[in-house]
């Protein structure tokens, strides 16, 4: 259902200053789409388990798989998704690749999410 220009300019209780502030602060559509994709990554329990492991320590696929009782291929697949979204980074040590959280923002997001859940 499309909103007409007349409907768009008539608000029940929002004053013009509030509407102006919202219009100024609303991110562009492309950024909102990117943000939605970013948060979708957190919508999978396996990925959250992997991120929780990496909160504690850098780790290789084999060790993550053993800790979580999953196959290496399943862990590798989820790590690929996390890496594509810049949530994890990796480094090579000989033949072994170690994974870690990409930056402190990820730690903050995970901790804030857990705090929110625990308060409820």
pTM tops 0.95, yes or no? no
**Which domains, from first to last, does the chain contain?**
44-117 (1.10.10.10)
Measured CA angle at 107 (ends 50, 59), to 5 deg? 40
Residue 10: pLDDT band (50, 70, 90) is confident
At residue 81, what are phi and psi to the nearest 5 degrees?
-65, -45
At residue 96, what are phi and psi to the nearest 5 degrees?
-100, 135
Average pLDDT score over the chain: 92
Q: Residue 6: what pLDDT?
A: 58
- In tens, the pLDDT along 41-65 reads 999 999 999 999 999 999 999 999 9
Task: Over range 113-117, report the average pLDDT.
Answer: 94
Residue 14: pLDDT band (50, 70, 90) is confident
């Amino acid at each position: 259902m499309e909103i007409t220009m007349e409907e768009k300019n008539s608000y029940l209780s929002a004053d013009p200053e509030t509407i102006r502030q919202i219009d100024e602060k609303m991110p562009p559509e492309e950024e909102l789409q990117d943000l939605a994709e970013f948060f979708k990554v957190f919508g999978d329990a396996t990925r959250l388990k992997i991120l929780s492991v990496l909160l504690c320590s850098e780790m290789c696929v084999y060790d993550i798989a053993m800790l979580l009782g999953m196959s290496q291929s399943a862990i590798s697949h989820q790590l690929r998704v996390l890496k594509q979204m810049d949530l994890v980074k990796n480094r090579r040590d000989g033949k072994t690749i170690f994974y870690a959280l990409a930056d402190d923002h990820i730690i903050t997001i995970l901790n804030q999410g857990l705090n929110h859940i625990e308060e409820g």
